[in-house]
A and B are shown apart, each in its own frame.
Chain A
């Protein structure tokens, strides 16, 4: 069980309100990702749920029970920190055992859970090492192990992968997703990386300046971004946003078209321009097109290797059914 509900939660540091009244429900067993640019309040929100920060007003309830005033350790949540926050002078075994030791579990039970966690996280050979003797990925796994043994109602992850190198990050991303599938426990995951959000989440919560911009499944956000911010934030490379006469043609202030929804055509496309940088990845080619008369740089994705190089003229044809239209307030027009 682990249904987390936030009702009219606000947080102020002194005079500045970092989170205006906010409502959010995370269902039991859901993998929710809080995503947004740095300073958008996503970590603060997570810390409010964990109880490491006090709410200024509003209620936080877990499984229908009001937890707003309950101490962090009694909320039944486990958290994995960005810096891992392992206890440096304790061995891996003692690190993992620490929450159970604090809870006063029997030695036999502790040992059983340590071994179970160590086996599922490939840590058996490292149990007697100190954190300083481990690599970044191993430390991360110890931190997760320390969370697992508590058998929490929900896991909270605070940018857990941002200190890892790119290759490890992809590996850990998959491990955490698999762990969620296996355990079925509620997880809340904070990241500024929209790729992590898209690949891992059941539900993405896009935040900006403490305000929830949109909540939905990854593909829902990709297909139907509610406003310009979400449109620009979700998807990689970024959606092309075009203003001016081209937008007026479609009865909108701004139109958006994703790079993968623009086709490269041999000649006489709707748009044309000069190729700037061409990124050849083999499977895809990304063109940065200039002098289109639409926007400074138009990003286009072509499948496979397309033999166009710097300075060539390129003809483009957008798929009109994939066009997103936004009004003057930046809200989506249906």
Chain B
């Protein structure tokens, strides 16, 4: 037995560190989610220190469930995560296939494609919401104003003027509004994370077997069928990796939501946790546990779906 004891002993610091690292926060979150624990309460000062005597059972969970923002936050979390995943995977595959062919300046194009990934999330959000999506000063506002001006000019044309008179005047979209702020988040995060998908798919495409492609060419498969029956199944595993990593990252989006709308009509679960944590630690912890459950459901569901559709 002694020959196995030494390796275990040597492994133990790392194992213990990881366990402590994971279990203590999780344990504390669970503990706080079952007690009354607030940062400031003048009437009930005993609630401001965590203690088992403040046991609340599932009360925090019921409180969070009943909160008017909770279902909206779950819905928003799912909308944002799924939209980003869908867009980055599709765009990632298209761009990766496009730049997999040899062309002049491919090296530079690749570096440029990767660069959005190096922008900090907060900077990314500030740039997009102020410089690109702003309805007045951003590119969007300028573009819409320009198009309106152009159509206005066409209305005075002798013959076709009547036709252009039927066209409506375009109004720029305010991406800070309740209805649209989630889309702004989706756009900016997709822009930032598509390079990640491209990078993973590109490396995978380079390992694709060329003889299989030649065999498929001889078998009469055109470009689309080669893509559908060879490239796409070949990419199934990298797609699963991209989806899983991104799902983990985007379920915890915070900076973009804070900067775009301060959670106005656009909360996701992390943002809701942040709001609760201003005072009600118990409710924040309960929301955190809900988030853990949601993340697991999403991960299992997405992986199953990809496995079924691509691996045949």
Contact = CB atoms under 8 A, between A and B. Distances in A.
Interface string A64-89: 00000000110001110111011111
Q: Which of B214, B216, B218, B225: most chain A CB closer than 10 A?
A: B218
A83 B229 CA distance: 19
Given A89-B233, A102-B225, A73 B219 contact: yes
B225 A85 contact: no
Determine the interface band of chain B, counting residues with CB < 8 A from chain A: 10 to 19
A103 interface: yes
Given A99-B219, A102-B225, A89 B214 contact: no
Interface of B: 209, 211-212, 214-221, 225, 229-230, 233-234, 236, 311-312
Nearest to B233: A89
A86 B212 CA distance: 6
Given A87-B212, A87-B216, 18 more contacts: A52-B217, A73-B217, A73-B218, A73-B220, A78-B218, A79-B218, A81-B214, A81-B215, A83-B211, A85-B209, A85-B211, A86-B212, A87-B229, A89-B233, A89-B234, A98-B216, A98-B229, A99-B218
A86 B233 CA distance: 13
A329 B311 CA distance: 60
Nearest to B221: A102
Interface of A: 50-52, 72-73, 77-79, 81-83, 85-90, 94, 98-99, 102-103, 146, 150
Closest 6 A/B residue pairs (Cβ) = A99-B219, A73-B220, A85-B215, A102-B220, A85-B211, A89-B233
A102 B229 CA distance: 11
Contacts of B225: 102
The B interface, classified by DSSP as helix, strand, loop or mixed, is: helix
B263 to A, nearest CB: 44
Nearest to B219: A99
26 contacts: A51-B218, A52-B218, A72-B217, A72-B218, A73-B218, A73-B221, A79-B214, A79-B215, A82-B211, A85-B212, A85-B214, A86-B212, A87-B212, A87-B215, A87-B216, A87-B230, A88-B233, A89-B312, A98-B219, A98-B221, A99-B219, A99-B220, A102-B219, A102-B220, A146-B215, A146-B219
Contact of A83 (B209, B217, B230, B236): B209
Contacts of A78: 218
Nearest to B215: A85
A82 B211 CA distance: 9
A1 to B, nearest CB: 19
Nearest to A103: B220
Contacts of B233: 87-89
Contacts of B212: 85-88
A103 B221 CA distance: 9
Contacts of A85: 209, 211-212, 214-215
